[in-house]
A and B are shown apart, each in its own frame.
Chain A
């Protein structure tokens, strides 16, 4: 079974630009969650999508948005980038419907904002 695929692996953007990150979950997994990892704040939950609907959301500004397609692939968009958005962005997929399952993480996208 293929794992969770995140693209691109590395990205360098300029302050004020926008960026789109992609996550392809494990086949059959309909839940995709996104996390931001920074040295100062650690791992923080951004949002979760299930069957194309945002089901849960963390405490991030509206510049951070996401969506999920009918094939369960998900994208995350950050508009008007700030230096503080530099981070490792991780997505996790799960079979979860109402009960917990294991969450399988991708290798992440390293975003650097200059």
Chain B
């Protein structure tokens, strides 16, 4: 079946530190992979997406690379800011209706100024 694993429930960093959030997935075929971000009081919103065609996505200083060999899709940012504090979800898109999203458990990022 489909599964997405985010082992880090919470990550705490100081401003300007490097961010790495680990994500692995299991599915058949070649899915579309997303990172969604959720700020307090809001619904999730798309941060970036990657397909098998390009293998890498970036947005707002965040980068993610899709590695089919290790079935991983890690999120990175070179230098975090307090405004990056949010919950980050690794998400698998599947099926003919690609809005059928399969979410990981989420990683709470806390950035201390």
Q: Do A and B come from one complex?
A: no
